[in-house]
Amino acid sequence: MTIGVGGSTPAAALEQLGDRTAGVTPIQTEEHRSRIAALASAMQAAGLDAVYLHGGANLLYFTGTSWYPSERLVGALITADGQLHYLAPYFEEGTVQQRMTIPGPIALWHEHESPYTLLHKTLQALGVSAGKLGIDPSAPFFLTESIRAAVAPAFALVDAGPAIQSCRGCKSAAELALMQRAKDMTLEAHQAAASILRPGIVTTEVEAFLNDAHRRLGAPGGSSFCIVLFGEATAFPHGVPHPQTLQDGDMVLIDTGCTLHGYQSDITRSYVFGEANARHREVWDAEKEAQAAAFDAAQLGVACSEVDAAARRSLEARGFGPGYELPGLPHRTGHGIGLEIHEGPYLVGSDHTPLAPGMCFSNEPMICVPGEFGVRLEDHFYMTEDGPRWFTEPSPSIDQPFAN
């Protein structure tokens, strides 16, 4: 039997878990202020006169205001000289004020009024009467086009993504600490889930357990996402629409994470329930080597695309691929992570961003073998002045999926 797999019950496993969030704090006001200043500098360098941040991760990153994006315009304007002004419906004024970390005036609109016209008037009130208006790349198309119509011809709309990414791409020490704790929590949840596996358990039971485990560990929302797959279903990177029942000799793939003060974890483990056969070992070892090759290639100044290429060279040497062909690696080697589970830059052939200190990535060059099984080993690393450093230790072997 694989080490650490089976032998416990859900009740007993949950009993071993406790709140792991002691000593961690959310991002503080001064850091948010420094982020706004950094964005203002990036805007000046890019020739932007103002930026509109839509509700969601970018608004949260710069202002500390958490808001779920919807069809209504709720966001903030930041000018190149660092002024901050929120926009929201009248009926949300109190809620927006309660969620603010960085206080600021709010331009308010009633439901029958145009928030886009109000945005234009707010720019003028801020002393920005014309120029280039950067738009949050997460803003939906209809909203962007409505803003364009309202501010034309005084303003040209441009993508604010590069300016925003220049601030968000490299994480601060406070961000790294939050992600480290979130990942530690998820790895502990993984180990607990492995311990409750038994013949006949259904994937949905494991998903429910992981949600409970994350809550016990201190993630108020439980699992932020959860994929549990057994047997042939593990060859589908993001799962299948039906639950599976565990049998002896099945490959198990569990991919899950949680959120801690807005910051994300995302870890995958693959192992066999029972005894691994020769084919399991062949594919698992190839995956392990590809993950190590990507990590070794991740050096300061190296392009993200080269990290992806290193993983594919390793897999091709083992007879997988080439490229995206199956059996092999059908998706990118990794993604950035922070306030969003998937954010730039990406470890993929088309992203030539040079690696810099503070950048954080998943490393998950999954092998999919249709009709048999799949193996994904996913851990995350961050770039330091001395090169890459793991947040969590990778699986030592197929027989020992957890380092401790």
Domains of the chain: 10-16+170-390 (3.90.230.10), 49-159 (3.40.350.10)
Q: What is the largest CA-CA distance in the chain?
A: 70
Sheet of 225-230: strand order equals: 225-230, 251-257, 267-272
The one-letter code for the residue type at 48 is: L
What is the model's pLDDT at position 404? 78
Q: Would you give the DSSP letter of residue 157?
A: E
Say if strands 75-79 and 50-54 run parallel, antiparallel, or are unpaired.
antiparallel
pTM: 0.96
pLDDT for 23 = 95
- The DSSP secondary-structure symbol of 394 reads P
d(CA 251, CA 171): 35
∠ CA 41-45-49, rounded to 5°? 80
Token pair listed for 23: 């000593």
For residue 42, how many other CB atoms are within 10 A of its CB? Answer: 20
Look at residues 366, 298, 299, 278 and name the one whose alpha carbon lies nearest to residue 330.
366
- CB burial string 191-218: b at 16+ within 10 A, e below: bbbbbbbeeebebebbbbbbbbbbbbbb
Question: If phi over 0 gives left and psi between -120 and 50 gives alpha, with beta otherwise, what is residue 239?
Answer: left
Count of other CB atoms within 10 angstroms of residue 283: 24
Say how many C-beta atoms besides its own lie within 10 A of residue 226's C-beta. 23
- E strand or H helix at 294: helix 278-297
What is the token pair recorded at 67? 């808001």
At position 223, the amino acid (one-letter code) is S
Integer CA distances (angstroms), 178 to 3, 182, 186, 284, 338, in order:
29, 6, 13, 30, 9
> Tokens standing for 359?
């950048």
Closest listed residue to residue 258, CA positions, set 271, 267, 249: 267
Give the mean pLDDT of the chain: 98
**List of the chain residues with pLDDT < 50:** none
Residue in 139, 95, 98 with CA at minimum distance from that of residue 119: 139
> pLDDT per residue over 319-351, tens digit each?
999 999 999 999 999 999 999 999 999 999 999
The pair of structure tokens assigned to 391 is 């947040």
Q: Phi and psi of 78, rounded to 5°?
A: -125, 130
* Strand, helix or coil for residue 262: coil
For 99, residues 6+ apart whose C-beta sits below 8 A from its C-beta are: 65, 66, 67
Please state at what angle helix 173-195 crosses helix 203-217, rounded to 10 degrees: 140
What residue type is 128 in one-letter code? V
